Structure 1
């Protein structure tokens, strides 16, 4: 393949994305519209299924489409979304509102908005294309290129007993696809999984759709994990695994204490429970002395998942998994998915790790996130300090707030939509009816005047939605 051909492969998803936007914009009915399948579009546009899947993932994240398990992708017309009020799925309504023109979107969690490496990645790719005019690796590298897998293995290795090899690393099109494969390989349907609460809605819904029994383990008001309840579940139930954060639990923004970390590791080991560690925000902790949970638990019952997107930006959407077990079945499932990920882009990401550029970028990003959180905290105190309780986050790009008085948070959500502001109600982060008095708010929102307008609208909505 020529250099031009390689670049075409790299950015095929952008052409697919534009095609899908036009296809969605043609929808003019008042009913949900099913979109072509991955395979149909791959044949129609002469690209790989993984390219189609990535484009769909972007569209789903933007709220233009949504997926139904075992059915496919669907689109709602923007005009219909704008008319939706209190009906329908809350997450669908949030995604739809986020795409309406002129909305102030404070519902997201995108740390790399403050400092992405998209431009650096593109420059590295151009260098690699000049250096290697032919395809670097065959497309049959279903689990990712060796250089990137080796770089990740080295980064996660912390001692001779806590070490990883390139063959233990699996790279997929995005985080959703990696977790789908993991759920399939582990055979989680019908099993019990403990998750911390609040928990990312992507993880919750994937487990729910897979038929997993989810036990939510709440973080207590004193910013400690409820280890007594954890022990009770481990003792009294057949728990397959626990899904917990590595250093800081988001969206709560609570960092593990050394005592909690040791207590949880001891309980998991005592009861023989596996840990599936969520490391998607592990490197965004403002305290770099924070030790990840994985360095405390039994390495023989450990798996880790993460993605590049929160640190590098939208041009690095890949998700990845580290596992020293079930590798044959994982390789088979990745091969069946036929991911055709750009070898050039993966190598560019690998060079970021090998050169140390990723560490310099992380220092800058963490500093900017920390400074932005302090600024947003000051604005929150000014506008809603007497209406909401919150703690300064220990990592990432969001605040987790709780109403001081009982409010109907769905009404708050709707009132804010009318003022062109989008927040993420807390109930989205639970399947068991928790967090109805909470909301998640992004602090990477740009523009103080816009932020002040949004927070003033939030204050009004909280007052108007009080219960009793």
Structure 2
């Protein structure tokens, strides 16, 4: 298969993507199947390793493949969701179920589905290809192209004491890869990290696989953080790193209050604890920004990570990290990881920031997310009534529901699978058995005619899964 000559009509990664889809669809076993390595596919298809990496990143984001550190990529087995209730890993079954044609995936968290910049990025990339012919494109910038790193540094700078420079920014193929490098660079294996709960399952699984001991700090029902519990953990446990959201904690939808931000910043500073801030949804609040946690903490004990895909869409899967410290080791780790990212795509993203187009897009996206959340809220009241409790989200693309009666949420999950509906049980967002009476539902849909049917099915499943 020759892809070099297809550049004028199509981007190479798109052809690789289609090839991989066909390859994955050939998997018909309930055992995991290892896919070809980056180098194998690059040689087979006569494209660069970065093109293969990009296609794999899109497939992993869509839940079609998953990666195993130092092993490679694997296809999710098609028959995974057919396993009996209680068998196998719940997250594995969720991803596998989402692959089936005709399945309604209510478990996703993809804000950009309502307004992506995929087409805009493609147009910018085509313009840049003419300015930067292939032979002039530098592939040696292992931490990302300077234009994008400088644009991000400027975006995060808020004062002379809270400023960032291009050398403080590191761009990787996706968020998973960036966090893997961070775990390695900070030497977190065997250490203790405190995280807010519920917490994104990607983060939890990565830390768990790395042998990190995780202490979960749940948000309280009144929407505040348990400061007394946080102080006790910081005082009594060997915690050197805290992982908190920047402005709004998702999926719980809790927004930081000014009082909590000040108090938490003081506690972290008093006990010399570093903050690793998750800014993935930092710019997706529906209303005017209320401030971020990083604006209050000691900037000398701060690192921030995020990604572009939640804001821009699937054509921008890159993750990034901001850090003033350990820069030489981070550069070494990024170089060893050999992220050969498209310099043209990164420059296209940089232009979105430099031109102000990103702010126009975010204004539209926030408005649509807010409108969609209001419509979904009405539907939840209509179909679920007294069965669940929820607060209207203030950011992002999901609702966090709590069952009012004790239910077996795994049974709810399985009953809905039989009707080709996928939800995200709350236990996925904890490693310590928390949130078993919760579930996450997406509200980022483009006119789903079957949404009412799916919510009616959820109501029936909740009723049938009641315990006692």
- Residue 391 of structure 1 pairs with residue 425 of structure 2: no
Change in 2 beyond 3 A, CA 1:215/1:379: same
SS in 1 for 2:455: helix
Residue 341 of structure 1 is matched in structure 2 by 341
How far is the alpha carbon of 1:376 from its aligned partner? 0.3
Contact 1:25–1:77 (CA under 8 A) maintained in structure 2: no
Residue 238 of structure 2 is matched in structure 1 by 238
How far is the alpha carbon of 1:171 from its aligned partner? 0.5
- Residue 126 of structure 1 pairs with residue 114 of structure 2: no
Structure-to-structure mapping, 1:15-34, within 5 angstroms? 15-34=15-34
Distance, in Å, in 1 between the alignment partners of 2:6 and 2:337 is 21
- Residue 307 of structure 1 pairs with residue 312 of structure 2: no
Which deviates further from its counterpart, 38-47 or 419-428?
38-47
How far is the alpha carbon of 1:5 from its aligned partner? 7.7
SS in 2 for 1:66: strand
Q: State the number of aligned residues.
A: 464
Distance, in Å, in 2 between the alignment partners of 1:371 and 1:164 is 34
Deviations 1:271-315 (A, max 9, x none): 000000000000001122310110000000000000110000000
Contact 1:63–1:96 (CA under 8 A) maintained in structure 2: yes
Distance, in Å, in 1 between the alignment partners of 2:428 and 2:42 is 33
Change in 2 beyond 3 A, CA 1:161/1:135: farther
Change in 2 beyond 3 A, CA 1:30/1:286: closer
Which deviates further from its counterpart, 334-343 or 350-359?
334-343
SS in 2 for 1:43: helix
How far is the alpha carbon of 1:187 from its aligned partner? 0.5
Residue 423 of structure 2 is matched in structure 1 by 423
Structure-to-structure mapping, 1:92-241, within 5 angstroms? 92-133=92-133, 135-241=135-241
Structure-to-structure mapping, 1:58-69, within 5 angstroms? 58-69=58-69
Change in 2 beyond 3 A, CA 1:169/1:83: same
How far is the alpha carbon of 1:61 from its aligned partner? 2.9
Contact 1:9–1:342 (CA under 8 A) maintained in structure 2: no
Deviations 1:326-382 (A, max 9, x none): 000111111111111111111111111011110011001000000100110010011
- Residue 370 of structure 1 pairs with residue 391 of structure 2: no
Contact 1:201–1:429 (CA under 8 A) maintained in structure 2: yes
Change in 2 beyond 3 A, CA 1:206/1:229: same
Contact 2:172–2:339 (CA under 8 A) maintained in structure 1: yes
Contact 1:10–1:344 (CA under 8 A) maintained in structure 2: no
Which deviates further from its counterpart, 337-346 or 319-328?
337-346
Contact 1:24–1:77 (CA under 8 A) maintained in structure 2: no
Distance, in Å, in 2 between the alignment partners of 1:290 and 1:373 is 20
Contact 2:114–2:445 (CA under 8 A) maintained in structure 1: no
Change in 2 beyond 3 A, CA 1:166/1:384: same
SS in 1 for 2:466: coil
- Residue 74 of structure 1 pairs with residue 74 of structure 2: yes
SS in 2 for 1:455: helix
Change in 2 beyond 3 A, CA 1:109/1:29: closer
Contact 1:61–1:95 (CA under 8 A) maintained in structure 2: no
SS in 2 for 1:359: helix
How far is the alpha carbon of 1:77 from its aligned partner? 3.8
Distance, in Å, in 1 between the alignment partners of 2:394 and 2:177 is 28
Change in 2 beyond 3 A, CA 1:33/1:214: same
Structure-to-structure mapping, 1:323-342, within 5 angstroms? 323-342=323-342
Residue 352 of structure 1 is matched in structure 2 by 352
Unaligned stretches of 5+ in structure 1? none
Distance, in Å, in 2 between the alignment partners of 1:206 and 1:228 is 28
Taking structure 1 as the reference length, what is the TM-score of the superposition? 0.95
Residue 450 of structure 1 is matched in structure 2 by 450
Taking structure 2 as the reference length, what is the TM-score of the superposition? 0.95
How far is the alpha carbon of 1:167 from its aligned partner? 0.5
How far is the alpha carbon of 1:76 from its aligned partner? 4.1
Over aligned residues, Cα RMSD in angstroms? 1.8
Unaligned stretches of 5+ in structure 2? none
Residue 411 of structure 1 is matched in structure 2 by 411
Change in 2 beyond 3 A, CA 1:137/1:21: closer
Contact 1:10–1:345 (CA under 8 A) maintained in structure 2: no
Structure-to-structure mapping, 1:248-263, within 5 angstroms? 248-263=248-263
Contact 1:150–1:166 (CA under 8 A) maintained in structure 2: yes
Contact 1:426–1:436 (CA under 8 A) maintained in structure 2: yes
How far is the alpha carbon of 1:190 from its aligned partner? 0.4
SS in 1 for 2:283: helix
Change in 2 beyond 3 A, CA 1:263/1:5: farther
Contact 2:6–2:12 (CA under 8 A) maintained in structure 1: no
Contact 1:380–1:455 (CA under 8 A) maintained in structure 2: yes
Deviations 1:257-282 (A, max 9, x none): 00100011000000000000000000
